[in-house]
Amino acid sequence: MHVGVAGASGYAGGEVLRWCAGHPDLDVEVVTAERHAGELVSCHAPSLAAAYPSLRFEATTAAAFSGCDVVFLALPHGRSAALAGSIHAAGALVVDLGADLRLRDPDAWLRWYHEPHGAPDQLGMAVYGLVERHREALRTAAMVAVPGCYPTAAILALAPLLDGGLATRERVVVDAVSGASGAGAIPSDSLHFSVLADDVTAYGLLDHRHTAEMEQELACDVLFTPHLVPVDRGLLATCYARAAGGIDTSDALEALHAAYDDEPFVVVTSEPPRPKSVRGTNVAHVTARVDQRTGWLVSLCAIDNLGKGASGQAIQCANVALGLTETAGLAVAGVWP
């Protein structure tokens, strides 16, 4: 398969290149990056030098991807919708790692992104790319909206428990921490080492954009608070919901096992999951507990925010949509220590 990657100089785009380098069926032929057009990939990202010694970034245009079978878009929100439409019209599978195709309601987009959607006619056209929930729809997808990192973890942690009636949808809380790579590669004051180190910062209080995805997929209101922690990659979501009467921890774990034991990239753990355990993989670790004393159910999920939270998941979606082996090119063993 001939592959194009837009926004290939960023963290998520670079990770797509890394995954494709070890993929038996995906050959990267076109990479674009506005700020780095003309530069060698190997100079911008020395970690990819052996895999792509002569590949150069081009300017990002729909025409650049002519002849591609699949195009991964790793662009800031608001940048990919129009491009996705043109690439889709040319016959390529579009896998958008950005936010533009994730929501189905233009009013929800306006509320959470504070601007009108650039191509509202495309909302609802893409399949939401959480394979564990939408695998069958992805098999025939022409456009895929890769979920955000926080929603991926929260939905994996909560969905089987809410769907199975083990918890109510009335009071759902998601508290999560993520590494600095989740903010992208463009520099900002909050990401300077001297600011980030030795600290934990809550941000996006009450209005983080990923809330919309969680509410869309979980069919309930969600109070979400993200935190930035001084690590380069990794994400841990701790999720709370009111437990249904009469259930205990064994019931919650049984529901997670029933949902995920046949899934190649989700592991139900007996101990609290740790982001470092899944570093460099497309794997999610989940567990749950029921607190009989307070009546709360707590479910946790750890992922690599650039793996299952972004680029690894994008490759998984592409594998399914292209009829390839779902696990092709994707790591299941983490980097430790």
Catalytic residues: 149
C-alpha to C-alpha distances, 67 to 21, 72, 246, nearest whole angstrom: 19, 14, 57
CB distance 236 to 177 below 8 Å: yes
> How deeply is 111 buried, as exposed, middle or buried, from its count of CB atoms within 10 A (0-12, 13-18, 19+)?
middle
Rounded Cα gap, residues 245 and 239, in angstroms? 18
Nearest Cα neighbor of 17 from 311, 319, 324 is 311
Q: Is 198 left (phi over 0), alpha (psi -120 to 50) or beta?
A: left
Rounded Cα gap, residues 32 and 8, in angstroms? 6
CB distance 243 to 167 below 8 Å: yes
